[in-house]
């Protein structure tokens, strides 16, 4: 395990810049774009469980058979989904270039309400911390790994 910590130390030494005045060229996340197998199930899950608001439904510019939706995650950020009904349901395999999980932030009151909703819907979840503060991990209908955290 020492070799892994040495690699982490090397990354810190080479790239970690604690200068708060450093010029970041981007302004944050506009949207994350994911693929779902069932648009209705996806919209239902995110609007019911996480209380996101469906903000836009459009045709995918690259494939007219595909629908592109945007869910308001709060904080000026969007979560987008495409469906590709003509391409079949092949799931993604975890690996290089794949996403591990989406981490969403919530205050303590909303965090607790999300946990209560997960319990009420019978959605399997794993709490790291407590039901008042910490992180809760769960999966959406397409097995996308989600985290809601209070940033404890």
Rounded to the nearest 5 percent, the helix, strand and coil shares of the chain are 25, 35, 40
Sequence ranges of the domains in the chain: 29-87, 100-152
If residue 70 lies in a helix (H) or strand (E), which one and from where to where? strand 63-74
Neighbours of 96 (CB within 10 A): 4
CB 149 within 8 A of CB 105: yes
Give domain 29-87's CATH superfamily. 2,3-Dihydroxybiphenyl 1,2-Dioxygenase, domain 1 (3.10.180.10)
CB 83 within 8 A of CB 127: no
Q: CA-CA distance, 125 to 118, in Å (whole number)? A: 7
* 43's tokens: 């919209």
Over residues 91-111, the pLDDT tens digits come to: 777 777 888 899 999 999 999
If residue 145 lies in a helix (H) or strand (E), which one and from where to where? strand 145-149
Query: What's the pLDDT band for 22 if we cut at 50, 70, 90?
Result: confident
Q: Which residue has the higher pLDDT, 138 or 98?
A: 138
Q: CA-CA distance, 125 to 111, in Å (whole number)? A: 13
In this structure, whether the domain defined by 100-152 belongs to CATH 3.10.180.10 is answered with: yes
Q: Can 29-87 and 100-152 be said to share one CATH topology?
A: yes
* 82's tokens: 């495409």
Over residues 62-85, the pLDDT tens digits come to: 999 999 999 999 999 999 999 998
Residues whose CB falls within 8 Å of the CB of residue 142, separated by 6 or more in sequence, listed in order: 35, 36, 37, 38, 42, 91
If residue 148 lies in a helix (H) or strand (E), which one and from where to where? strand 145-149
């Amino acid at each position: 395990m020492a070799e892994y910590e040495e690699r982490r130390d090397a990354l810190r030494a080479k790239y970690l810049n604690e200068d708060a005045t450093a010029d970041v060229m981007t302004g944050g996340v506009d949207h994350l774009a994911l693929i779902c197998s069932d648009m209705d199930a996806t919209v239902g899950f995110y609007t019911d469980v996480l209380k996101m608001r469906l903000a836009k439904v459009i045709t995918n510019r690259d494939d007219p058979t595909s629908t592109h939706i945007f869910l308001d995650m709060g904080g000026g950020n969007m979560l987008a989904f495409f469906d590709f009904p003509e391409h079949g349901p092949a799931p993604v395999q975890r690996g290089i270039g794949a996403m591990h999980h989406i981490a969403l932030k919530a205050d303590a009151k909303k965090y607790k309400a999300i946990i209560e909703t997960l319990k009420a819907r019978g959605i399997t979840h794993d709490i790291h911390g407590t039901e008042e503060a910490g992180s809760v991990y769960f999966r959406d209908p397409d097995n996308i790994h989600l985290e809601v955290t209070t940033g404890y």
